[in-house]
Structure 1
Amino acid sequence: MSSIEEIKSRLDNHIGEAVTVVSQAGRKKFTERSGVLRSTFPSLFVVELDEDTQFKQASYSYADILTKNVQVDFAE
């Protein structure tokens, strides 16, 4: 992906689909979360999480995808 607009456009096409998000949680540490892509906004997107935690949603910025701090994989 080469721009934030392209990233948002790609995610817009997958709203309502299952996703896995891998995010950097520090040096050599990664967090993997699964859920459903619920909505996109001008600077971030929201994933409704499948996990039973106190947080039901997580939001990520398109800039994090652009800088490779977050990776989004769509279910096949």
Structure 2
Amino acid sequence: MLAATNALLQIRRSLETHVGQQIRLRAHRGRRKTLEKVGVLENTYPSIFVVRIDEPNYNQRLSFSYADVLTETVELTLMQKARESKTKNLA
């Protein structure tokens, strides 16, 4: 039980460092239903974290527990900002 508690605490600390950043969320809702959205990790709380989804005609806040991440019911991927690559023509 102590190992599970440490794992949940480690997940929470990891998410706390990414508050305000854009993430890709994949949540398994059972019976072949999967929710895939891109949102912003809005806040972390002692038992849950909140993701804000801002899409045209779809504004919602979703909350999940850290145990959902541990059991892989929820998968989170940090979105990297696309960096512009500048190429020079050497002619």
**What's the TM-score, normalizing by structure 1?**
0.88
SS of residue in 2 equivalent to 1:15? coil
Q: Which protein shows a greater Rg?
A: 2
Q: Does 1:34 align with 2:38?
A: yes
Partner residue in 1 for 2:50: 46
Number of residue-to-residue matches in the alignment: 74
Residues 1:13 and 2:17 are matched in the alignment: yes
Q: Which moved more, 1:22-31 or 1:33-42?
A: 22-31
Instruction: Report the TM-score, using the length of structure 2 for normalisation.
Output: 0.75
Amino acid at match of 2:33: K
Runs of 5+ unmatched residues, structure 2 = 81-91
Measured in 1, the distance between the counterparts of 2:33 and 2:60 equals 22
Runs of 4+ residues deviating >3 angstroms: none
* Identity in percent: 36
Separation of aligned partners in 2, 1:42 and 1:67: 18
Kindly state the Cα deviation for residue 34 of structure 1 after the two structures are TM-superposed. 1.2
Specify the code of the residue in structure 2 equivalent to 1:24.
Answer: H
When the two chains are superposed, the root-mean-square deviation of aligned CA atoms in Å is: 1.3
Distance 1:7 1:33 in 2: 20
Q: Which has the higher contact order (CA 8 A, sep 6+)?
A: 1
Structure 1 unaligned regions, length at least 5: none
Instruction: Report which stretch shifted further, 20-29 or 63-72.
Output: 20-29
Match of 1:57? 61
